[in-house]
Structure 1
Amino acid sequence: MFASPLTDTLRFGVFAALVFIAAPSWSQQVPGAAPRVAMVVGNSNYQSVLALPNPANDARIIAEKLWESGFEVIETIDADREEMLADLATFRSRLREGSEALFFYAGHGVQVNGRNYLIPVSATPSSVEDLVNQSIDAQLFVDIMSNSGARLNLVMLDACRNNPFAEITEPDTTEIETRALAIGASQEEVARGLKALAQASPGGLAEMTSGKTETMISFATAPGAVAFDGVGNHSPYTQAIVDNIDEPGLEINELFRRVRGDVREATGGDQIAWTTSTLETRFYFKTNDGSLRDSTTGMSVGSDTLGALPPQRIVDRTFWRAIRNTDRLDAFEAYLKMLPEGVFAQEARQKILDLGGDPAAIEAVDPLLTGVESTAPTELQMAIKREIAAQLDRGDVSVAIGTGAEVLPTPETNGGWVYVQKAPRLGEVTVEEDLELEPSSVRWLPPGARLRFIPIVGSNGGQDSFVGLELLENGNTAETRVAIETHVDACDMLAGNPYDAQRVTAGTRQFIIDRNFDAAIVACEIAVEKHPENVRFWAQLARAYRSAGRYEDALFYQQKAVDAGYSSAKVYLGQMYLDAQAVPQDYERAIDLFQQAGIEGESAAYTALAWVHRAGVGVPQDYEKAMGFYREGAARGNDWAMTNIAEFHQKGFGVPQDIGEAVRWYITAAKSGELTAQTRLARIYQTGDGVPQDFEQARFWFETAAGRGVPNAVTRLGVMYEQGQGTAKDIEAAARLYTRAARDGDGEAFFRLGRLYASQHPIFDDPARAAQLLERALSEGVYGADRELARLYEAGRGVGKDLARARTLYASAAEGNPWAARDAGRAWASSDGFAPDLAEAVRWYRRAAEGGVPWAALDLAKMTEAGRGVEPDRVEALIWYATAWGLSDDANLVKSVAERTGSYTEQEFNKATQVLLTRLGADIGPADGQIGPKTRAALQDAFEARGQSLPAGRIDLDLLGALANFE
């Protein structure tokens, strides 16, 4: 129906892909440059030890500098142990053969027995053993980097401060003691532990090993010595790095020689930065040559990117720059929602008030979800805000990448020769006829000529400059110096598509834009208004509208971009025709658009065409063709295509089911940053679905997705901590994770947290809060919430005792849970404040027993024996006793059944056997309690039909239990 030359062209590509593309292994990667990846941690806001003013600020500015140097940055600020480990998993997942890896840490760190431990903000240790368990060994970061295949590793530790437990304050001591006593420690043990903590570390850090990979490890000061936090906006060590890192062509050994000198000078010789290195290769944060696209992570290939937002300082400055001169209420509301602790949050609040809005409604905190309370900003924090605000306009001119040329603010020339002393590395300076002014060149500038600057696509921006010397007639020179800032526009930052071949930045994955679509809409509307001819902004605005469900608006800009020939927009306009979003459903039109985009090189077109053939919409369903298109997309680096190839192998769609092949594809997609692949991998390893159960791998992949903020991945990671899967059991860690996920709207997290507060754990015992959390989970339709809430109403814990509500909730839960049916039976049998309904109790017990609940079978046996809610019947009761016996080997249940059936006669056992055989379809006549030939033959047949041997001897509970459960 849709055959065309376009189809034939794509079909040829598919067959080529089928021939040449094989599933990659863990070490094989999608094509393109290996990423530059950095993990940057700054812990300041400690809960139980001395807070530090600078580390969070230090980490944020280092993250900014690294991002502008082309690194993909995983920024971790004021993190608990679980968050640090989750971000470490994300970091590890991004490292591969040839990567350039960097780890920076600022915060408390101590050495214990020659090992360095980095302390999360959540640490509340009451002993040295607690400290080790609640912190993270710094060597772990080095070892992971060393074993990753990375080309070189850089480690920077600004953590060489005093042992914080040697100067712990009374309130912090009280908090630590309270926790320790609550979980069973004695006062004497706590006092002894705190004393040992104070003496455990002499201060400063120990030397570290670097492994086999080329590695440089830099300490803020010499091993065993103590570094200063600093009296300025940043520590002396961080400030020295910041002052030198931006210089193009500065080799790293020379950079750290300068850092050492700057730190020595800033501290009057009291602190000497210390570096140990096995580097053989030269390394530059910013080179003077080479392709910026190839050296900036996420720009060289398909969709190989985390697709997360840049470091907070970058997002803060970029978004505020876009909105500061508007009078749009929605702009400032979007800012405050996305950056409630942002540099310009106070200004945003005031603008919202001035424009008739209510900032308090945006910042409302759920009282059920505890957290660190906001405090008044310190003078240092105010100084940092002033520093960032002053950088809003960092140059004489600021130019967004991919928006065309900007005229430089230079005086008009009367005509003359100009020597280019320094040319920008992030763009080109041209005269009006587009002649580039190259470094060290001499050019004639005609009268009235103006210089123009256009950024090169491929960098993350940064500060730059142009210096020219005009040769005057008298032989003198006149210097022209222009400070230039290039930056990624807020629209590109918030709505850029990782699958767009014409993107100008790494792009934002759908998960991120769905969480910030209001900010993306504002940024892109402003960008379209400012650059009305920029087609990329049309397409990105359409993407933001589509994320918000504003399909009519999305259609307008999507169609406009398609009419202008923008390839990526064709894919998404096709999706709108496929899904009937603001247009009539039109499969033919959708397929035509996908085919056009595929020929033009858009990898997402192949995943769209694959879906068409997979689902059989507009064409016959054909898994083989779908797989071909997925492989074509994967060959172009599209990790969503890789994820679907994995699913085809996992489920056997058009190919033999092969979980090993599925896992290999999932791993490749997951390492490329695809979130669905990460969570599916975690579940495969957690459940042992076709592979050996591996909690360590499950935890790693849940951590990787949790590190990017996927709410249910955070919850599932919490479950692993709560149950001790792949890690030591840690209820407090689970609670922190559940709280974090609940803040992001994960319904299961409310359920898990509610059940924890209902559990009577010594630290988490708040049934009133539990009831509220479970009510929230119930409103979200979370499985199990009704049963847990019913228990609270039945017992009157945290709520008024209400057996009627409990019964209703148990009945609701029983729809999908036979154990809840047993609870319902108990509730209807109860006379605690309500009249029992024994017939209803019997009905629920029967339902539970038939669902395989042994205790319900025992309950039903007792009621049948006693004639409560049902006619008394000892033979029927014996059948239910035997059912319970056959369902479980629980010692308490076995003992109870044995005791209750001790008075039953051989004839009653025989009758029960005959009743069961009749129910199984045997024709043995009436149940008379006599085991004759017909009964024995029927017994033999019943066991043989199920591949079992008939037990020898008289009929007992084992035989009767097996027979009862045949039914």
Structure 2
Amino acid sequence: MKKLEKIQSAVPHHTLLCNKPSPSSCNDRPNPPEILDHSHLRTGSRASLLSHPQTVQMYSDIAIKRKDMLTVQCDLAIFLIQVAKATKESDPDRCFYLTEAKKLLKRAASRGYATAQHHLGNLYISGLLHNSNNDHNDSKTRWDRAFGLFVQASKHHHADAAYRAAICYEQALGTGRDYGKAVQFYRKAAALNQPGAMYRLGMITIYGKLGISKDIRNGVKWLKRAAEAATKEYPHAVHELALLHERGTEGAVLFQDTAYCIELYSRAADQLDYAPSAFRLGECYEYGHLGCVKDPALSIHYYGLAARQGHGEACLAMATWCLVGSPKVLLPSEAEAYGWACRAAEKGLARAFYAVGYFTEVGIGVQSSPGEAIQWFRRAAAAGDPRAIQKLKDRDLLQESNPKQQICNIM
């Protein structure tokens, strides 16, 4: 009972219903009506409780017997994958869930079901199977298996699979690099309104990549279509359109429009949770860029949105704000400043290495440790930070009278 409650709490009830097959597949069929009552449960003297693996096995057997219900098999497999993701790697049930999911997807994929082919390909490249049944799951093998499945699914007009196949051809994943075929599959996926493909096609057309002639006007058209179809998984086109409106384009295809630029950045940050857009807004409200009025509260808000998603530059910006604070908005906190600087350093930023070194040397938010500080300065110098290089050359460098002001300047 405890195991069942654990799984139910880890995976929302609507997870299965949310993973509906893509309508782009020509052989997809509508899902059967949801069972909203409890008539399918045994009650009274006939009631019985099964462990979750036994319950899964029971429903797996039902799905297998109903050969015409490929959607049921695929949805069950997706559900099992979600359960596995919510299960600790040390839990033996995790291997069971993934093995069953793989079996169901392979069975449906072998019958030409495009959605199953696509999900099976994604399962291979996800790395989730690396501990299941001692399967051969090195990166090359995973992509080799996935590539063929993506191509098969794309033949049934599965948009996401066509997009994945294009990436494989462009980046030589599971197949040889072939820019011509990459463009071909990007076009196929874009024609099916796949936002990632429309964005990629727009970018390579605007900048003349992958053997395509440069055509800014046509590329912008694809970028606009991608922005209209943008999702949290594919927010990139909205941000790129904002960048283009920030500076304008050659041939006056797009004019500079700072107001619309901010509108696009806001949409990408607020609605699509796109960290680079949130970071750009943080800069705009901190320094008054792009016609924005300086607003510490909004700057901290947007930097925070980006930093919590692991955006390195935003983490460093938050370190600065936490150090100096802002009246009625944010109280200064050396400990939080040090923490954000460390998170920025985890992203490999040379400036962050130097900042953490300075924090450690002076003792801001952490106990002073000149020896540890030198190690951070060495990392910063190796990453090309000129201040760290100079500091290592000259250990007699004079300290500023106000350490907090100096750290604000260096970040």
TM range (shorter): 0.5 to 0.7
Distance across 2 between alignment mates of 1:594 and 1:724 = 46
The answer to whether the 8 A contact 1:806-1:827 is kept is no
Cα deviation, 1:284-329, whole Å, max 9, x if unaligned, reads xxxxxxxxxxxxxxxxxxxxxxxxxxxxxxxxxxxxxxxx999321
- Do residues 734 (structure 1) and 291 (structure 2) align? no
Cα deviation, 1:20-44, whole Å, max 9, x if unaligned, reads xxxxxxxxxxxxxxxxxxxxxxxxx
1:672 is aligned to 229
Find the partner of 1:539 among 38, 50, 74.
74
Paired with 1:720 and 1:679, the residues of 2 have a C-alpha distance of 15
Contact preservation (8 Å) 1:492, 1:504: no
SS at 2:186 equivalent: helix
Counterpart in 2 of 1:632? 188
- Within a 5 Å distance, the mapping from 1:107-126 to structure 2 comes to none
Residue type of the alignment partner of 2:115: S
Q: 2: CA distance between counterparts of 1:499 and 1:748?
A: 39
Shift of 1:583: 5.5
| Identity of matched residues, % | 23
SS at match of 1:784: helix
How far did 1:568 drift?
A: 1.3
* Alpha-carbon distance, 1:778 to partner: 2.4
* 8 Å CA contact 2:24, 2:157 repeated in 1: no
Letter in 2 for 1:681: L
**CA offsets 1:86-109 (integer angstroms, 9 cap, x no match):** xxxxxxxxxxxxxxxxxxxxxxxx
2:343 is aligned, of 765, 776, 795, to 776
Checking the alignment, whether the CA contact within 8 Å between 1:775 and 1:789 is kept in structure 2 is yes
Q: 1:526: Cα distance to partner?
A: 11
Question: 1:722 aligns to what?
Answer: 286
Counterpart of 2:355 (choices 788, 809, 816) is 788
* 1:604 matched to 2:169: no
Distance in 2, matches of 1:539 and 1:830, equals 65
830 and 612 in structure 1: CA distance in 2 versus 1, 3 angstrom threshold: closer
How far apart are residue 665 of structure 1 and its match? Answer: 1.3
C-alpha displacement at 1:645, in angstroms? Answer: 0.9
Question: Tell me, what secondary structure is at the counterpart of 2:4?
Answer: coil
1:704 to 254, 264, 267: 267
Offset at 1:756?
Answer: 1.3
Question: Partner amino acid for 2:383?
Answer: G
Change over 3 Å in CA distance of 1:802–1:583 after alignment to 2: closer
Matches within 5 A, 1:456-855: 490-496=14-20, 498=22, 501=25, 502=28, 532=63, 533=66, 534-543=69-78, 545=81, 548=85, 552=99, 554-574=101-121, 585=141, 593-616=149-172, 621-649=177-205, 650-673=207-230, 674-686=234-246, 695-706=258-269, 707-726=271-290, 727-759=292-324, 761-762=326-327, 764=330, 765-821=332-388, 824=391, 828-830=395-397
Deviation at 1:662, TM superposition (A): 2.8
- For the structure 1 residues 599 and 759, does the alpha-carbon distance in structure 2 shift closer, same or farther, using more than 3 Å as the test? same
Q: Cα distance, 1:628 vs. partner?
A: 2.2
Number of aligned residue pairs: 340
Deviations 1:399-430 (A, max 9, x none): xxxxxxxxxxxxxxxxxxxxxxxxxxxxxxxx
Trace 1:288-299 onto structure 2 (pairs within 5 A).
Answer: none
Task: Tell me how far 1:589 sits from its aligned partner.
Answer: 6.2
Between the aligned partners of 2:76 and 2:289, the Cα distance in structure 1 is: 43
C-alpha separation in 2, matches of 1:526 and 1:782 = 48
Q: CA deviation at 1:754?
A: 1.1
CA spacing shift, 1:701–1:655, aligned 2, 3 Å: same
State the 1:755 CA deviation: 1.7
Contact 2:266 2:278 in 1 (8 A): yes
Deviations 1:341-396 (A, max 9, x none): xxxxxxxxxxxxxxxxxxxxxxxxxxxxxxxxxxxxxxxxxxxxxxxxxxxxxxxx
Cα distance change of structure 1 residues 619 and 772 upon mapping to structure 2, 3 Å threshold: closer
Which residue of the partner structure matches residue 42 of structure 2? none
CA drift at 1:594? 3.9
* Paired position in structure 1 for 2:48: none
Instruction: Give TM-score, length-normalised by structure 1.
Output: 0.31
Q: CA deviation at 1:656?
A: 1.7
* Runs of 5+ unmatched residues, structure 2: 32-51, 130-134, 400-411
For residues 235-283 of structure 1, what are the alpha-carbon distances to aligned partners after superposition, in whole Å with 9 as ceiling and x for unaligned? xxxxxxxxxxxxxxxxxxxxxxxxxxxxxxxxxxxxxxxxxxxxxxxxx
More strand by share: 1
Query: Does the C-alpha gap of structure 1 residues 769 and 578 become closer, same or farther in structure 2, counting only changes over 3 Å?
Result: closer
Q: Return the alpha-carbon distance in structure 2 between the equivalents of residues 648 and 564 of structure 1.
A: 36
Structure 1 residue 497 displacement after superposition: 5.0
Q: Distance in 2 between matches of 1:735 and 1:567?
A: 45
Structure 1 counterpart of 2:227, which letter? A
CA shift digits 1:838-872 (9 cap, x unpaired) = xxxxxxxxxxxxxxxxxxxxxxxxxxxxxxxxxxx
**1 CA distance for matches of 2:348 and 2:393?**
24
Q: For the residues of structure 1 that align with 2:242 and 2:62, how far apart are their CA atoms?
A: 44
Q: Does 1:331 align with 2:8?
A: yes
Compared CA separation, residues 775 and 540, structure 1 to 2 (3 A): same
**Secondary structure of the corresponding residue to residue 814 of structure 1:** helix
Equivalent AA in structure 1 for residue 209 of structure 2: G
Q: Would the aligned equivalents of 1:679 and 1:705 in 2 still touch at CA under 8 Å? A: yes
Matches within 5 A, 1:239-258: none
CA shift in 2, pair 1:722/1:825, >3 Å: same
The 8 Å contact of residues 570 and 596 in structure 1, kept in 2 or not, is answered as yes
Q: 1:884-895 residue pairs with structure 2 within 5 A?
A: none
Q: Distance in 2 between matches of 1:739 and 1:723?
A: 16
Report the CA distance between 1:631 and its aligned residue: 1.6
Gap change, CA 1:759 and 1:813, over 3 Å in 2: farther
Q: Provide the rounded CA distance (Å) in 1 between the counterparts of 2:293 and 2:29.
A: 44
Query: Structure 1 residues 712 and 535 mapped into 2: Cα distance closer, same or farther (>3 Å)?
Result: farther
Which residue identity lines up with residue 721 of structure 1 in the other structure?
Y
Displacement of 1:542 = 4.0
Aligned ranges for residues 895-914 of structure 1 at < 5 Å?
A: none
Deviations 1:36-57 (A, max 9, x none): xxxxxxxxxxxxxxxxxxxxxx
Letter in 2 for 1:652: K
Give the C-alpha shift of residue 748 in structure 1: 4.3
The Cα offsets for residues 524-568 of structure 1, whole Å up to 9 and x where unpaired, read as 969956973553243245446289497655422321321354221
Q: Is 1:755–1:788's contact at 8 Å kept on the other side of the alignment?
A: no
Contact in 1 for aligned 2:169/2:177 (Cα 8 Å): yes
Cα deviation for residue 826 of structure 1 reads: 8.2
Residues 48-80 of structure 1 deviation map (CA, whole Å, 9 limit, x = unaligned): xxxxxxxxxxxxxxxxxxxxxxxxxxxxxxxxx
**CA deviations over 1:754-789 (Å, ceiling 9, x no partner):** 121224644543223211222233234345222223
Q: Distance in 1 between matches of 2:195 and 2:243?
A: 19
Question: Would the aligned equivalents of 1:542 and 1:557 in 2 still touch at CA under 8 Å?
Answer: yes
> Of the two, which has the highest radius of gyration?
1
**Relative to total residues, which structure has the larger helix share, 1 or 2?**
2
What is residue 34 of structure 2 aligned with on the other side?
none
Q: Post-superposition shift, 1:732?
A: 1.1
Number of the residue aligned with 2:408: none
Tell me: CA distance 1:754–1:619, structure 2 relative to 1, closer, same or farther (3 Å): closer
Question: What secondary structure, in the 3-state scheme, does the structure 2 residue paired with 1:643 have?
Answer: helix
Q: What TM-score do the two structures reach when normalised by structure 2? A: 0.66
> Could you say if the C-alpha distance between residues 538 and 680 of structure 1 is closer, same or farther in structure 2, counting changes exceeding 3 Å?
farther
CA contact (8 A) 1:527 1:537 kept: no
Residues 746 and 561 of structure 1, relative CA distance in 2, 3 Å threshold? farther
The Cα RMSD (Å) is 4.2
